[in-house]
Amino acid sequence: MSPLRHALIDYLVVRRALGFKLQRTEKLLQQCLTYVEQCGETHLRQPTMLAWATQPGNEQSGWPAYRLAIVRRFAVHLHAIDPATEVPPADVLPWRHGRATPYLYSDDQVTSLLAAAVTLRTSYRVATYRTLIGLLVVTGMRVGEALALDRDDMDVAQRVLTIRHAKFGKSRELPVHPSTVAALHHYLQRDDRPRVATRTAAVFVSLAGTRLRYCNVHWTFHRLVRLAGLTPRSASCRPRIHDLRHRFAVCTLLDAYRSGEDTHPRLHLLSTYLGHVDPVQTYWYLSAAPELLQLASDRLQRHLGGDL
């Protein structure tokens, strides 16, 4: 193994110890080092890193800059150990980073997604995606957290789901409605569940009996989006599976406003439930919902008018 490969292993160990997952980062850095080795080089050099980041086929807006940013961070780390390592300037490639606008699904749109799942190839796949989408809708958990669920993470008696080793290595417990536990239990007891699924502890498994992979779930979800007739609202607002998490957050605060509750305690509970380190992170999930902003504005107006 080359010194660069050893250095990459050490780099990933250090950053993962800080709580970073780095799946995509590792894949991209491995690809970059392969390119460097094919060029016959033993150190990271600016021209080679730039050539790798801008290879044909990577012209998607912002993608070359993202690739270069990944390898640049590794180069900064490596330069402290090996001064022969070159570090590209931070602004050598233009990158306009913008967050996607949340696509807030209506109740009817969620129903359409669940109905579209009926078109999947087998009854078990239909049940898998309807149960998975339903779980994301009613808990707001991250997709990766749902796919990582094991059977032992379900406490049927207490109606609690345990999310283990989530973002930044944190774990948490999610109290859920009895109907949620019942739906998961029914899914696990299906007669058409693949027999080889007994080899894995996963709740959600494929037809091959293995834990569902995010890339396959992502592809299937977009197929369901098309079948349900859901279309983008703008260039930056497209239906994504992650937006079910946004929907949960917004609906939670909408319920608080409509019932006249104090939203501050609800916001802190919501932040904990979603697994956020700080409530500030939760505000992003709420800031792009016009209906929620209108209710907040109405409450403020009543307060200023002396009604509250």
| Tokens 């080092």, residue located | 33
Q: Which of the residues 242, 257, 266, 299 is marked catalytic?
A: 242
Q: Indicate which residue of 245, 246, 247, 273 is catalytic.
A: 245
> Which is the catalytic residue, given 77, 246, 247, 276?
276
Q: Active-site residue 242, yes or no?
A: yes
Residue among 167, 218, 222, 266 flagged as catalytic: 167
Catalytic site includes residue 285: yes
Q: Which of 67, 142, 246, 247 is catalytic?
A: 142
Q: Which of 124, 187, 273, 285 is catalytic?
A: 285
Q: Is 299 a catalytic residue?
A: no
**DSSP sequence for the chain:** --HHHHHHHHHHHHHHHTT---HHHHHHHHHHHHHHHHTT-SS--HHHHHHHHT-TT--STTHHHHHHHHHHHHHHHHHTT-TT-----TTSS-----PPPP----HHHHHHHHHHGGGSSSHHHHHHHHHHHHHHHHH---HHHHHT-BGGGEETTTTEEEE-S-GGG--EEEE--HHHHHHHHHHHT-TTS-GGGGGS-BSSB-TTSSBPPHHHHHHHHHHHHHHTT---SBTTB---TTHHHHHHHHHHHHHHHHTT--HHHHHHHHHHHHT-SSHHHHHHHHTT-HHHHHHHHHHHHHHHTT--
- To the query of whether residue 199 is one of the catalytic residues in this protein, the response is no
| Dist. CA 249–CA 123, nearest whole Å | 31
Any idea which residues carry the catalytic annotation? 142, 167, 242, 245, 276, 285
